[in-house]
Structure 1
């Protein structure tokens, strides 16, 4: 039974070009962004079979049409787990046998439908709710002019929660457009005018509208923000049903100050407009971010408006729930053992459970090498390490924290602003006057890395 897809030979060059077009300088950069092995990306780009879930995820990241470029691999029934395993916050799993791809072939179901069904099932099959977060989000998104901000560190479930929200509003027949700002290229970020044209174009594309953004820009008066607003008011907002716009990885825009302040201020203005203008009551905005952009005036910032959702770690009950979803015979003792190393971090917990289930190993074996370069968290830890190495002041502050055996109090050598940045990255846990590593995994791994740096 074929469970994999591959890129059609006549589209190989197109998918290779898509890597650079989407701002990835190398195959390795794309692999790291998706949390996959480089070999998986190479297989995809060279037309070799990869797991169907992997295929869908790469297509989404590269803005490729899954239906157009894919063909079923009829010769390789199942691609190696180690070759196609995704190391990201999503927990992918094969569909039940009743949803096998052969059923869709017999019914001549379009491949696009298969991709959509699989993505939804795989996203939700291992989703663990964190009450009352979901219900509150469902309530907020129904409010006219809603601004919903989902704040959490990398790989802690922001995108999964957004997917649940999108599924919820689809049942309400709302219109929706989902944008990941990492899909924009350096050229798109070259100036505010180009970025806002890209922004309008992608939203229109998601809504399957054919109204030319370029033509609107040419005919309209005013600056680029006015043109962007008028495009929304003329073509995107009008309709019987509300429009939900979800912006993922908003942090991507923060380093580009000349665009970030104007764009974020514009979003805040749109939210405020819903209080006085009927057409903007149709607009609902979801913003996903890890940090708060502080360079914009507080009265123009979207980060102190609307409703903020701060995602928390899983508790013991939720970790046990996830273990049961994987079919593992876990009890409170095993959950406590796992959480002593990785806390309730959704990705770290999920990876351990997935490894135990897929590789038929034990929790003890997984934890024994968890903080080493050959452990299951190596890429996750390496990415945090690279981020730290790009900011010497932040690295020094974290070094002081992980080398200490007790919580470190704030001082001139460890000021509160540094601790907050480390907290936004998910590396530390804050208390009123002190800070400590967020998880034992981080303490062990980064202590070794700092101690082994050349003196």
Structure 2
């Protein structure tokens, strides 16, 4: 049984015309109707392989006969789709939905939301703008949001989109780099180049290029490594995701030159063909509180994306995906406690759907040691305890003593997700945090 199926090349134009004929003006309209990724729809329409269940579902939505369209020679010329699966997918919508609900499976919220998750909530038009941008030569996308707001999940979907369009892709998470890596710029840039090589499965040839560092500096050696070796070797666009770049802010001996280098590489993409192949996605948790020359910063160019909290409509949608029969009143009660914080909303809905607890019990017991939030709140308090200056800053927030807060402290508290910033004003991100910290502090 083949895992993937694609549209026969001679029928691609017929498939594309069926999109408009069935009332789907954009690919994203069909993707939203079927609750599958836009990149899967794009692959289907352009004759690239897609999962056979998705293939059959898209054909049904477009009123097309899958047997006529399918090229089944991807993995086995002898395999055929089982008739039982065919019948299931081609039946009417009601029966399909009943089949899906029988396979409903909860998903504990932890880290990145999987690419195939039914619990990923789009924050349109953010996704669509990112997918459009990453298609452009020399693209640069900046994603900003506090911890646990969905940055890495969005990054993963941008990377998936880049994969579908044929790019080489890789993601570097700066939080995973050893402390010693940040000792000086030379060591850091060697790690940077070597990590990209390793993730792309390309032999490390740093020594062939790093002799230049003694003469022209490490930044130029890094640039030469990409320009003369990495990009020509892969011979196709490279989409490079840089996650948690805030880590670099802590090292003055590194951040100016590194961020200046990223800006320079982006500018090169406007002039030279080789650098048009590099597409950057930079992810960070807070405002840029380190001094950077406006002409050497990558944080004021490209597409800027700021992830916000879920609104009430999105929260209700997520509750329904957890098969909870919630009203707007239920949503309002939850949001009065945790706002639209994506992680806290998902955590709440998971435990209620799993019948661990009721919404009423949660509201009555939110900050206790037996609460579903206890581990999360304890983790936040540990972060504060490890950084006494932030502990004191948060105490000032809780007691409305904003005069004692430095700009750096404000941004760091925002980065870990404990506060909201409104210009010069600041407050606890949600009532749950405010109530807990009043006790803890």
Regarding TM over 0.5, the answer is yes
Matched, 1:130 2:128: no
SS at structure 2 position matched to 1:297? coil
Name the counterpart of 1:443.
Answer: 434
* Candidates 360, 375, 383, aligned match of 2:379: 383
CA deviation after TM superposition for structure 1 residue 433, in Å: 5.5
SS at structure 1 position matched to 2:438? helix
Name the counterpart of 2:223.
Answer: 229
Name the counterpart of 1:403.
Answer: 399
Name the counterpart of 1:276.
Answer: 271
* Candidates 241, 249, 261, aligned match of 2:244: 249
Name the counterpart of 1:47.
Answer: none
SS at structure 2 position matched to 1:237? helix
Name the counterpart of 1:339.
Answer: 335
CA deviation after TM superposition for structure 1 residue 437, in Å: 1.8
2:108–2:347 contact (8 Å) kept in structure 1? no
Name the counterpart of 2:260.
Answer: 265
Map 1:262-341 to 2 at 5 A. Answer: 262-291=257-286, 292-341=288-337
CA deviation after TM superposition for structure 1 residue 190, in Å: 2.4
CA deviation after TM superposition for structure 1 residue 159, in Å: 0.2
**C-alpha distance in 2, partners of 1:207/1:396?**
44
Larger Rg: 2
Provide the TM-score with structure 2 as the length reference: 0.69
**C-alpha distance in 2, partners of 1:395/1:219?**
45
SS at structure 1 position matched to 2:295? helix
SS at structure 2 position matched to 1:298? coil
Q: Give deviations 1:24-73, integer Å, cap 9, x for gaps.
A: xxxxxxxxxxxxxxxxxxxxxxxxxxxxxxxxxxxxxxxxxxxxxxxxxx
2:289–2:408 contact (8 Å) kept in structure 1? no
**C-alpha distance in 2, partners of 1:373/1:298?**
47
1:293–1:303 contact (8 Å) kept in structure 2? no
1:270–1:280 contact (8 Å) kept in structure 2? yes
Map 1:5-20 to 2 at 5 A. Answer: none
Name the counterpart of 1:205.
Answer: 198
CA deviation after TM superposition for structure 1 residue 87, in Å: 5.7
Q: Which runs of 5+ in 1 are unaligned?
A: 1-84, 92-118, 451-455
**C-alpha distance in 2, partners of 1:218/1:432?**
48
Name the counterpart of 1:81.
Answer: none
**C-alpha distance in 2, partners of 1:268/1:441?**
40
Name the counterpart of 1:195.
Answer: 188
